[in-house]
Amino acid sequence: MTKDNILLKLENVSKIYKMGEVEVPALKNVSVEIKKGDFVAIIGASGSGKSTMMNLIGCLDTPTSGNIFLKSKNISLLDESDLASHRGKTIGFIFQQYNLIPSISTFDNVLLPLEFQEIDDKKASERVKKILSIVGLSDKMFNLPTQLSGGQQQRVSIARSLVGDPEVILADEPTGALDSVTGKDILRILHKLWKEEGKTIILVTHDLKLAKYAHTTIELKDGEILKTYQNHNEVG
């Protein structure tokens, strides 16, 4: 395996939350490598440190110790502003609670990342329309998030994560707020993005059935990696 193949690397990463006097170790000396184009599921019980790991990978938080490399760049050394543009261009987020801006339309929500990247208007709006048709929401372009169902909102959030054409998509319990049928739909979209678009997908879930869509599974327990294994006959 060549070094170019490694998209993400965690090197002895620890994260300790301080709550007043109490220290909560959420990740303990974790080292892991994620290959470009992989579909990784991070599983584990609630409180095992999945979200913590996700936030570190997504540059939303900084580790207490250790190094994180994104495309062989040490992001532990970047400042807030550089991290922000890095995030915008390289990473797309999908959250459990969709996290759409409630006061603006579907279209504007998906457009937002491109506005931060200062992409010119015409190009940006064409891109937004294309992405919305991919997730099947062309007819809901001018609806507010509150006028959409949960599954539709999550598809808007997928569209938003895709619009900047990121290399990696991070999804933290994306189906957690959805019924199982809608949840499967969302997983199928992610799977398709992996298979057909070659995106690197990192999925956090506590649902082992959903983890079967992934190619690689990392299992966490109490802030440590219990085991990592490949799934050679993933569903999808």
Partner 1 sequence: MKFTKAFKHALNMVLHSKLRSWLTILGIIIGVAAVISIVAMGEALEQDMTSQLDDLGGDLLTLTAGASSAHSFGQGRMGNFGGSASATDEEIVLDKTDLQALKGVSDIKLMDTQISGRVDIYYVAEKGSVTVTGVDPLTWYQITTSKLKDGRMLGSADSNVIMIGGRVAESFFDKQLGINQLITIEDRLFRIVGILDDQSTSVYMPINLAYEIIDDKEKGVYDKIIIKIKDEEQIDIAMENIEQKLMIARHVTKDKLDFTLSSNQAQNDSRAEMINSLTMFLTAIAAVALLVGAVGIANTMFTSVLEKTKEIGIMKAIGARNNDILIIFLLNAGLIGLIGGILGIIFGTLLSGSLPALMGDTTGIMNRMFSADTIINLKMSVIAVSMSVFIGMGSGAIPAYQASRLKPVDALRYE
Q: Which of the residues 23 through 82 are near ligand ADP (CB under 6 A)?
A: 24, 26, 44, 46-52
Close Cβ partners of 133 (under 8 Å, ≥ 6 residues apart):
none
Close Cβ partners of 51 (under 8 Å, ≥ 6 residues apart):
172, 204
| Choices 40-48, 101-109, 147-155, 184-192 (CB under 8 A): range interacting with partner 1 | 101-109
How many residues contact Mg ion, by CB under 5 A? 1
Tokens 């990342």 locate to 113
180 binds partner 1 (CB under 8 A): no
Measured distance CA(6)–CA(31) in Å, rounded: 13
2 binds partner 1 (CB under 8 A): no
Tell which one of 39, 43, 51, 187 touches Mg ion (CB under 5 A). 51
- Indicate the length of the chain as a whole number: 236
Kindly tell me which of 4 and 80 has the beta carbon lying closer to partner 1: 80
Compute the half-sphere exposure of residue 178: CA atoms within 13 Å on the CB side of its CA.
Answer: 25
Measured distance CA(157)–CA(192) in Å, rounded: 16
- Which one of Mg ion, partner 1, ligand ADP, none is in contact with 44 (Cβ closer than 5 to 8 A by kind)? ligand ADP
Helix (H, G, I), strand (E, B) or coil at 110: helix
Binding site for partner 1 (CB under 8 A): 55, 58, 60-61, 80-81, 84-85, 87-89, 92-93, 95, 99-101, 103-104, 112-113, 115-118, 160-161, 164
Note the residues at the interface with ligand ADP (CB under 6 A).
17, 19, 24, 26, 44, 46-52
